[in-house]
Amino acid sequence: MLAIRTLLVVDAEGFSRNRDSDLPGLHIEIRDAVAAACDRSGLSDTWKAVRFLESRGDGLLAALPQEAAVPLIHPFSDRLQDVLAESAQRLRALGLRLRLRVALHFGLVDDEHPVAPGISAATNDVCRLVDCEPLKAALRNSDPDVTFVAVIVSSEAFETFVRGGHTGLQPSQFTKIQAKVKQFDRPAFLYVPAPSECKLPEQSQVDGVPHTAASSPASGTSLKRVKVTGKAAQNIIGNQVGGSIWQERS
Dihedral through CA 240, CA 245, CA 248, CA 249, nearest 10? 10
Over 35-103, what HEC string results? Answer: HHHHHHCCCHHHHHCCCEEEECCCEEEEEEEHHHHHHHHHHHHHHHHHHHHHHHHHHHHCCCCCCEEEE
Q: Is the pLDDT of residue 22 over 90?
A: yes
Q: Give the domain ranges of the chain.
A: 3-191, 203-249
Digit-coded pLDDT (tens) for 115-148: 999 999 999 999 999 999 999 999 999 999 999 9
Mean per-residue pLDDT, 158-166:
98
Model confidence at 114, pLDDT cuts 50, 70, 90, reads confident
Give the largest CA-CA distance in the chain: 85
Mean per-residue pLDDT, 90-107:
97
| Residues paired with 52 in a beta bridge | 63
In 3D, which of 200, 224, 55, 206 has the Cα closest to residue 140?
Answer: 200
Q: Is the pLDDT of residue 204 over 70?
A: no
Model confidence at 1, pLDDT cuts 50, 70, 90, reads confident
**Greater model confidence, 156 or 236:** 156
Mean per-residue pLDDT, 54-76:
95
State residue 112 phi and psi, 5-degree precision: -125, 10
3-state class percentages of the chain: helix first, strand second, coil last, to nearest 5: 35, 30, 35
**Percent with pLDDT over 90 in the chain:** 75
The superfamily CATH assigns to domain 3-191 is Nucleotide cyclase, GGDEF domain (3.30.70.1230)
